[in-house]
Each structure stands twice: as structure tokens, then as C-alpha cells.
Amino acid sequence: MTSARGGLRAGLFLLAALTACTNDPYPAADAGKKLLYLTFDEPPKTLDPQVAYSTIDHLVIGNVYDTLLEYAYLKRPYTLIPGLAMQVPTPQVLPNGKVSYRFRLRDDLLFQDDPAFALDGEGSKTRQVRAQDVAFSLARIADPEVNSPVFETLAKIDGLREFSERLTKLRAEDPRFAQRRIDEQYALAGPIPGVRVAGPLELEIVLSESYPQILYWFAMPFTTPVPWEGVARYDGREGRDLFSEHPTGTGPWKLVDYDKRLRIALRRNPNWYGIRHPEWRAPGATYPETGESGDAAAGRLSPSVVGRALPFLEGIEFRREKESIPAFAKFLQGYYDASGIIKESFDRVIRNGELSPEMAAQGMSLSKSVLPATYYLGFNMDDPVVGREAGEQGRKLREAMSLAIDSKEYTRLFTNDRGIPAQSPIPLGIFGYEEDYRNPYRQVDLDRARALLREAGYPGGIDPKTGAPLKLSFDSPDTSAAALLQYQFFVDAWRKIGLDVSIAATSYNQFQDKIRRGAYQIFQWGWVADYPDPENFLFLLWTPMGRTHGGGPNTANFSDPRYDELFLEMKALGNGERRLELIREMRAILERERPWIELFHPESYLLTQAWLHNEKSPGLSIPTAKYLDINAEQRAELRSAWNRPIRWPAYAAAGLSVLLIVPGILTYLRERQ
């Protein structure tokens, strides 16, 4: 009971804070500034752009480091545009059959001011960004001591793997080599044939094989230009920072305060090319003039912003909030500019997929975006009952099981309707997704499912060998009550057509061991895109990616010679009619063979305050803050009204807060009794 009383006291304190004195966490001097306030719950792991892979890492470094290419803010499907580079390069086939991409950097690009540049000479605070800085970053990706998670992917760059091996050998053979300055080590271990610096601003990337998707990696922080001076200076010695906590970038913002357990503050970088050269009207430094359907109606193409130089904000502040309920309470008070929706309050915030009247009355907006991700049920195609060995019988069994699963009902029950039923592996916003396509095996049809079971030799779901319902196993790495409830949804659906599917829930490590041994039948999985290309989804069913035999992400162990042939041609092409034809044929193979039961593409819901403008959720982990704008005066007025005691706006805000927060407090108490 002691903990329950403590929880109650905490809840009452929270409500008192909402209805009485302010808990404004910001300095009064910042009240009129265009600062974007957001939350984070876990601290970044690293700010090293060649290493960072988590969402919170990219929230910081994506704004501090610019990339050679980036994505058009409003366009879908996702479209690459020039960033630090003058244009998006086109592939050129060289006489030796290798593929080349030539980048030209913009002239007069500068790094942010930093003491590291004193290594270049007395009094230096910055210097021009050169093609050699991109080459240095690619060498860091190949450096085993950096341990970049994308080395294997970028090893398609000609000679990158061999450079990594030479660097390792030189360090092992000569301790003095390992003590040299890092740029000198790379120069002595080089050159890298596939990274050719053709001039101060010219860089040619040569691939050992065709891989058009390489361009997406130049829109990620992994390949951002990094100065050797920053890496050399910030080594953690003699009181110096580590480079992983001291970014030295080229982006529109610079890091000015980094207490990763409490506060992360970014401010405008005056050296950014968009600020120094607005007359360039560079695509990545100018607000777009066009978008997709709905952007104008949502206010994202207002004449007041179209064509204007970026950024609009003065800075960004991330404040750590370990608990979701207090964070959401502060959002309701106006202390955060955007927020997700806590599960305890979802039904009171959202009504029939739209913002509730109470929230709309506060001037808030709801932004929805379909993430480039796919969740699915998979069959182990190596299994003798549900897999390829069962031939036509197994195929019809998989088709029948697919017809029994209602994705729409699943998302209604378990994701608050935040999901679009999937018809194929390819989600919205990715080339190859066709809105009108309907997978005939992803429409619920129990009668047809039962007919397919009869054709498969399982009439009424009965196994003729036993005279009882066919027994199958659903394997899971999650033993929580919430997960088991979701798995039971599938089991109940299959029971309707006569099948007996049992849930085999184990620990994650035990599940992984079963996967390695191939000792599983049915599983649930998901995939979130690294980059917006159909190859990044369709490779999940490519034979060489088989999980059990090759350790890849093809957990279904699907293998089809024609699919593999089509995949190899498709992945080597740019988006166009031929590529779409190939994708359609691959989709037809998956439709028929059913290695997956596609479930849904998840949706993200974001609440934004009335004073925040131009917001469009990107789906991908890419920076968009430079496109946002804030009416600081309106924010200050509404914050004051919502947090002022006695007057009616405070009562209205407090009433809404009680309505939305009390269910969370009650849930908190119930869980601790």
C-alpha cells in the first residue's frame, strides 16, 4: 500500500501543478525565441556520424551534419535532391564494367567554428569543406577501430574492404604507425580505388557491382564529410572531449549544450551555406514550392513560406523525460511543441481516427504518416509441413491460413487502428507500391480458406494421418501477456478454419537459437526501411539472405529461382516502367507462394501545437527541423493562459489535462497494487 499511496501523492501533485502554479522549465529570456522544444527518453549512444544508427542519435547528428544528398521534404514517393552536392549524380558504366558516380561539392561550404581547426594554423576557427573530407569519412567507415555498422553494405565501393585489411595489418606490424595522426594513417594505407578525389570539390565513387541504392547512403549521416581535425583533437585525452560527443559538422545547427542525461541544445550555425548564401536558392536550403496532394490544405504551402530561405527556427532543445505521462502533461501545458500520444489517453485524444473536439479546441493538429515498414507473419519454408517440401499441399495450406487473418481487425485491437493493411512487402511512399493493388489472399474469406484446406488434403482442418485438427506451432521471442494476447488473435483465426496452432513462446535468445537451427514453423516479424527503395524490402525474400543457412534477414528461408532472377535485375535498375514490371512479377510470385502473410504498414500519429507550422512527418529517420516554423508570441500567450490559475483558460486546460492524465494515473496505481 505504501507504493500505491506514493503513486497517488505523485498523481495529486501532478494535477495540482497543472491547475495551479507554473512548472515552466525554460529561462524567461527564451520566451520570445523561435526554439523548438521536444523530448527524448533515452540518451544518444553516440554522435559519431559514421557509427550512429539509432533514432535519437540521428535526431541530433542529422541536424548538425549535412549530407551530400537529401530528400525532398514534401514529396512522396521519397525523392532525392542535392544537399552539399551540386546535383544528384547519374551512374556511368566504365570500360571495365564497374559503375561510377561523380559528385561535385558546392563551393564555399564551411564547417562550423570549432577549436579543432587550430590544428590547421594559428587562429583558425573553420575551413572549407573539400572532397577529401568525404573520402576521409568513407575511410573511417572501413576503419575496424571505428566499427561502423554500415561497412558491409558500403564495401561495394571498389577497394574499400582491401583498404580496411591493409590498415589493420599496418597497425599490427608497426606500433609507430598506429600513433600517427589519423589522416596520415589513412593516406599511408590508401589509396582506395573506388574513392577518387579528382579535385578540391570533385569526388568519384566507383562500385565493384551495380548498386543504384548507393545514392541513398549519401543522404544519411554515415557519409557526411567529417574533418580530420575533429577526429584528431577529440580523443578523450587530457580533458578533451571524445569525438563521439563533440560533433564538428556542416549542418544548419550546431551543438551548444550536451548533457545527454538531461538536455541537448542546438542553435543556428552561421557557417551553414543556406544562411551564408540564400541567393543560391539551393534545394536543401529553400522551402519547397510544390508537394503532394493535401499539403496545401494542411497549410504546408503557404505563400508566406514557399521559396523562403531556411531555417526558420533559432534552435532546437531536447529535454529528457523518462516517463511518458509527465511528458504528455507538459505537452498539454504547452511546454513541448509536439508529442506522441500515450496509450492511456489515446481514446480520449483520437476519435474515429481524427483529433477529438476537445483537443481541436485547444488549436492542436494531428499529423499522420505511414512509416516505410512492414509487419508480417512468416512461414519457415524449410519446414516439411508448411514449407516447400510439402509442395502443392503446403502452398494451399499457406494460402488458406492467409485468407483467415484480418489485418484491419488486428490493428483495431492492438495498434489503435494505426496501420494500413499490407497487400505486399512494399509500403506506401516506396516505388512499386500501387494503391489499387489487392492481394487476393489478403482479403478475409473463410469459405475459400476451407475449400483450399480440402484441396490440400486437410478437410475441415483435419490431418488425415491423425484424424485430429492439423497441429502447427507459432514461435515467438516474447512471453509477455500483451504479446501472447496478440498471438492468440492469430491462433483463434486459424481455429475458425479447423487448424490447431499452439503458441511456443520462449526468451529472445532461445528463439534465436531455434531460428539458427531451423526448428520453427510460423513466426511474426517486421522490417523498417534503411532507405526508401523496394530493394530494401524485396531482398528480405532473396535466397542468399536466408536466415537459417546464411544468417540473413530472410527468416522465411524463401527460395525461388525466378524470384531471385527478377530481384537481381530489379535491384540494378533505377525507377521506371521496366522496374515496375519486374516488381509486379515478383509480387505475383509472393502472392501465390505465400511465404509471408502481410499484416500492416504502421502509422505514426503526432500531435502538434497551434503555433508550430509546416510539420510533415517524414516516416524515415531524416532531419526536418529546418522546414519548421514557430509563432513564438502565440506560444507565450497560450502557455500563460493555460498555466494561469483562476482564469477560465486555466480551468479549461486543467479540465482537459485531468480528463487525459487521470486514466494514466489510475493505470499506474492498479499496476502497482
Are the C-beta atoms of residues 268 and 253 closer than 8 Å to each other? yes
Element (H, E) at 71: strand 69-71
What are the start and end residues of each CATH 3.40.190.10 domain in the chain?
42-285
- With H, G, I as helix, E, B as strand and everything else as coil, classify residue 255: strand
d(C-alpha 523, C-alpha 666), whole Å: 35
Are the C-beta atoms of residues 91 and 100 closer than 8 Å to each other? yes
d(C-alpha 468, C-alpha 607), whole Å: 51
For residues 255-280, one letter each, b for 16 or more C-beta atoms within 10 angstroms of the residue's C-beta and e for the rest, the string is: beebebeeebbbbbbebbbbeebeee
Mean pLDDT over residues 37-62, rounded?
A: 94
What are the start and end residues of each CATH 3.10.105.10 domain in the chain?
373-603
The better pLDDT of the pair 367, 672 is held by 367
d(C-alpha 428, C-alpha 370), whole Å: 7
pLDDT in the model for residue 536:
95
d(C-alpha 415, C-alpha 29), whole Å: 41
Q: Which CATH class is domain 373-603?
A: alpha beta
d(C-alpha 460, C-alpha 468), whole Å: 10
At residue 657's C-alpha, the angle toward residues 651 and 658, to 5°, is: 90
- Which amino acid type is present at position 621? S
Q: To the nearest 5 percent, what fractions of the chain are helix, strand and coil?
A: 40, 20, 40
Cα 387 to chain centroid, rounded: 32
pLDDT in tens, 143-163: 999 999 999 999 999 999 999
| Residue 652 predicted with pLDDT over 70 | no
Report the candidate in 327, 431, 360, 350 with the shortest Cα–Cα distance to residue 604. Answer: 350
Mean pLDDT over residues 321-329, rounded?
A: 93
Q: 25-29, 88-92, 219-223, 256-260: which range is least confident on average?
A: 25-29
Mean pLDDT of all residues belonging to the chain:
91
- Reading the block at residue 316, the C-alpha cell is 532546437
- Reading the block at residue 75, the C-alpha cell is 514529396
CA distances from 56 to 39, 60, 248, 260, 428 (A): 10, 7, 18, 11, 24
d(C-alpha 555, C-alpha 380), whole Å: 7
- With H, G, I as helix, E, B as strand and everything else as coil, classify residue 311: coil
- With H, G, I as helix, E, B as strand and everything else as coil, classify residue 100: strand
> 350: which DSSP letter?
E
Maximum average pLDDT range among 137-141, 354-358, 650-654, 665-669: 137-141
pLDDT in the model for residue 327:
94
Q: Predicted confidence band at 17 (pLDDT cuts at 50, 70, 90)?
A: very low
pLDDT in the model for residue 120:
82
Threshold 0.75, pTM exceeds:
yes
Give the domain 42-285 fold. Answer: D-Maltodextrin-Binding Protein; domain 2 (3.40.190)
| Residue 101 predicted with pLDDT over 50 | yes
| Residue 650 predicted with pLDDT over 60 | no
Q: Is the peptide bond before 191 cis (omega within 30 degrees of 0)?
A: yes
The sign one gets for the Cα dihedral 110, 200, 70, 260 is negative
| Torsion from C-alpha of 253, 255, 259, 265, nearest 10 degrees | -30
DSSP string, 492-556: HHHHTTT-EEEEEE--HHHHHHHHHHT--SEEEEEEE-SSS-THHHHGGG-GGGBHHHH-SSBTT
Are the C-beta atoms of residues 394 and 406 closer than 8 Å to each other? no
pLDDT in tens, 481-490: 999 999 999 9
Report the candidate in 335, 369, 332, 373 with the shortest Cα–Cα distance to residue 349. Answer: 332
| Residue 194 predicted with pLDDT over 80 | yes
pLDDT in tens, 561-578: 999 999 999 999 989 999
| Residue 260 predicted with pLDDT over 70 | yes
Mean pLDDT over residues 476-499, rounded?
A: 95
pLDDT in tens, 394-403: 999 999 999 9
pLDDT in tens, 350-384: 998 899 998 999 899 999 889 999 999 999 999 99
